Amino acid sequence: MLMLYPPITPYASGMLPLDALHQMYWEQCGRPDGQPVLYLHGGPGDGCAPASRQLFDPGFYRAVLFDQRGSGRSVPRGELRDNTTLHLVADIERLRVHLGIERWLVFGGSWGSTLALAYAQAHPQRVQGLILRGIFLGRQSEIDWFLHGMGQFYPEEWQRFVAPIPQDERQDLLQAYYRRLCDPDPAVHLPACRSWGRYEAACVAIRQRPEAIARASSEYVALSLARLEAHYFVNHIFLPEGQLLQQVERIRHLPAVIVQGRYDLVCPPVTACELAQHWPEAAFHLVEVAGHSLWEDGILSVLMQQLESFKHRVD
């Protein structure tokens, strides 16, 4: 198995003004004259972890990482105003121009795969290829699965998730949570954020990782993660139902890899299979004994192999 590269410090970073409200944190690692690759984090609302830098060979790649508006080190954190998929796509283009990059490889997992597809379909001429993991297309059936389906495999976590919601509000869990997550009172929104973050993190890997659960249910991560996920879910990810699948024709000419865990409970493999069927040119890797997390051995190994392979595929 190819392992992560050693910890690395960005050689450049900054805050990019997006509009009167939002500023976006960005950083670059590796070779300033290397092959540009864009890393898109999940969530929405999660932000980039320092370990994400270690995916990219610093002797070859010029890795660009950023925290999407409202996430991580971008400010204001957890902000829902002017925060839509189209805003995020435009932000990526603004960052590309700001950094003087002509075209780049796009790497995204979970919500990052959603955003990667939306960006590539909007700007195919700016993309050299895509590496996608844990596919999420934002359809209602996938959102419903997140709220109800994966709890069938972790019923104790689902019971913990619904416990803060009164019985008479549970017929619409999403709206019930959204009301609490948007409440200005921290005594209301913080417990809801932590509960949402824990539920997701508890289901993200085949074997629960206590450190991942602790991170996702911490105030810093949970505030933006839960608010923004619910915000995007309530608004059907701000795209017409099925658009990302319907517009695959726009990017079928691009080199692409789809990596999916067989036992992914957050984004079940049926979605990745549908994407692969619509995109037969894309290489499809269904990883056995793996769930949703990027950091599971099988998933990480395939992703590192694909990053190595793309050194010889991008033009």
For residue 184, is the peptide bond before it cis, meaning its omega torsion is within 30 degrees of 0?
no
Catalytic entry in 46, 57, 292, 293: 292
Asked about 312 being catalytic, the answer comes back as no
Helix 111-122 / helix 85-99 crossing angle, nearest 10 deg: 70
DSSP string, 232-250: HHHTGGGS-TTHHHHTGGG
Let me know: does 286 contact 271? Beta carbons within 8 Å: no
Q: Residue 68: phi, psi to the nearest 5? A: -60, 155
Catalytic entry in 52, 110, 113, 293: 110
Asked about 315 being catalytic, the answer comes back as no
Question: Residue 88: which H helix or E strand, with range?
Answer: helix 85-99
Question: Residue 257: which H helix or E strand, with range?
Answer: strand 256-261
Let me know: does 267 contact 275? Beta carbons within 8 Å: no
Catalytic entry in 57, 67, 91, 264: 264
Asked about 292 being catalytic, the answer comes back as yes
> Could you list the active site residues?
110, 264, 292
